[in-house]
Amino acid sequence: MASEVKVPTLGESVTEATIGEWLKKPGDAVALDEPIASLETDKVAVEVPAPIAGIMGAYKAEVGETVEVGAVIAVIEEGQAQSGPEDTHLRKDEAEKASSAEEEIEALPSGEEGGDASTTLSPAVRRAVLEHGVDPTTIKGTGKDGRLTKEDVIAAAKAKQSSPAPSASAPAPSPTPATAEGERVEERVKMTRLRQTIAKRLKGAQEEAALLTTFNDVDMTAVMEARAAYKDVFAKKHNIKLGFMSFFAKAACLALKDVPAVNARIDGDEIVYHKYVDLSVAVSAPNGLVVPVVRNVERMSFAEVEQAIADYGQKAKDGALTMQDMAGGTFTISNGGVFGSLMSTPIINPPQSAVLGLHRIEERPVAVNGEVVIRPMMYIALSYDHRIIDGREAVTALKIIKEAIEDPMRMLIDL
């Protein structure tokens, strides 16, 4: 008897998704609630669990196909997996439907029976494996359930390049086909649903909001000294590293309290002022930039902020963020400095009205008390919707953040 696998409820206002990848092939044994497919929604990837234990049956939808909530995408047969001719036939049929990239991956060594989950490759990982020419079965995955991430593949490729050349007595590896000199190569890859949504939202923000950015620079000396003095004790007590994000999150809370418009949004012909701070923190995920929300930051300690951000960062890397993790948010902090950015004009995350952009810290000569000294400086930027936030308010909010970072005591005594 077969059981249908249906697209689960995906979250509020989300009615459809795209088949991102199949995690099980027809003929594979599946356990109850074991993930068999990954769906890409507008915000996150969602795994589809098996409704029963049994044998994976036929697919009812292909990778890249858009499916609605409740649609049947596969069937699972009751029983145990077999390795006889029927199973072989199923696998052969499925392999014939696979894309050329997937066929190349399948041709790689498959590893030992019962190995880790790193043999289940996402589209991004498959592309990275092909691009860098590494064997995925020799790489230990750091993602969810031991799955490979794109970063794992890149790290393995770098390690392979830095390894010593084989000795003269060792057999030479088979030559890799090289691209002919002067050949113009193009690759066409369909945008993921997440990337399409990011594109639409950011373009919509530019078209609908009256965007403007104000800049300032911050002397990071005081925060860096505080961090250096207390990071070991902090880590020992709270089991989490003391980073810079918690300082900026708490500094932002001071600014949003004093300048409420920066923490507000437009709803029709009304302005909604939030009496709380739900902080959207932009983090990099395998499929693009995502912004999970740390709620009620104004009530949190530095350790709680750091822990929440670290947890979201790991979930983003593992592809485990949920719709609830992404919902809401009243203000955003985006840290381009981790990628080396010196200065940028971040785009607001609708329906929010402002976003704080952080950048890299670098030593620069500055004038202090009439003398030129070298200080660790950071440019900070506040992009805002001029329809709701006046220039004076934006500049004031950014100045409050600057003063709190340069004198962290302000955050303790609420100045």
pLDDT in tens, 294-315: 999 999 999 999 999 999 988 8
For residue 207, the model assigns a pLDDT of 84
Task: For 223-280, give the DSSP string.
Answer: HHHHHHHHHHHHHHHHSS---SHHHHHHHHHHHHHH-GGGGEEEETTEEEE-SS--EE
For residue 99, the model assigns a pLDDT of 45
DSSP 149: -
For residue 63, the model assigns a pLDDT of 84
What tens digit of pLDDT does each residue of 266-294 get? 998 999 999 999 999 988 776 667 789 99
For residue 100, the model assigns a pLDDT of 44
- What amino acid is encoded at 12 in this protein? E
What tens digit of pLDDT does each residue of 215-271 get? 999 999 999 999 999 999 999 999 999 999 999 999 999 999 999 999 999 998 999
Tokens (6 digits) for 238 = 């709270």
Q: What is the mean pLDDT of residues 345-351?
A: 89
Note the Cα 105 to chain centre separation in Å.
25
- H-helix or E-strand containing 92? helix 85-97
CATH, range 194-413? 3.30.559.10
386 a catalytic residue:
yes
Q: Is the separation of the CB atoms in 362 and 376 below 8 Å? A: yes
Residue 79 has pLDDT above 90, yes or no: no
For residue 85, the model assigns a pLDDT of 46
Q: What is the mean pLDDT of residues 183-194?
A: 80
Q: What is the mean pLDDT of residues 361-389?
A: 95
Q: Which of 39-48, 146-155, 176-185, 381-390 is predicted with the least confidence, judged by mean pLDDT? A: 176-185
Averaged pLDDT of the chain: 80
217 a catalytic residue:
no
Q: What is the mean pLDDT of residues 142-152?
A: 72
Nearest Cα neighbor of 285 from 213, 194, 357 is 194
Most confident of 40-44, 207-211, 287-291: 207-211
Which one of 232, 258, 386, 407 is the catalytic residue? 386
Domain ranges of the chain: 1-97, 103-162, 194-413
Tokens (6 digits) for 144 = 């969810």
Question: What is the fold of 1-97?
Answer: OB fold (Dihydrolipoamide Acetyltransferase, E2P) (2.40.50)
Please tell me which residue, 370 or 91, carries the higher pLDDT value.
370
Model confidence band, residue 65 (pLDDT cutoffs 50, 70, 90) = confident
Residue 170 has pLDDT above 50, yes or no: no
Helix axis angle, 302-318 relative to 221-238, nearest 10°?
80
Model confidence band, residue 91 (pLDDT cutoffs 50, 70, 90) = very low
CATH, range 103-162? 4.10.320.10
Whether this prediction's pTM lies above 0.75 is answered by no
Nearest Cα neighbor of 339 from 383, 282, 377, 406 is 282
Model confidence band, residue 113 (pLDDT cutoffs 50, 70, 90) = very low
Q: Which of 74-88, 254-268, 371-385 is predicted with the least confidence, judged by mean pLDDT? A: 74-88
Residue 97 has pLDDT above 60, yes or no: no
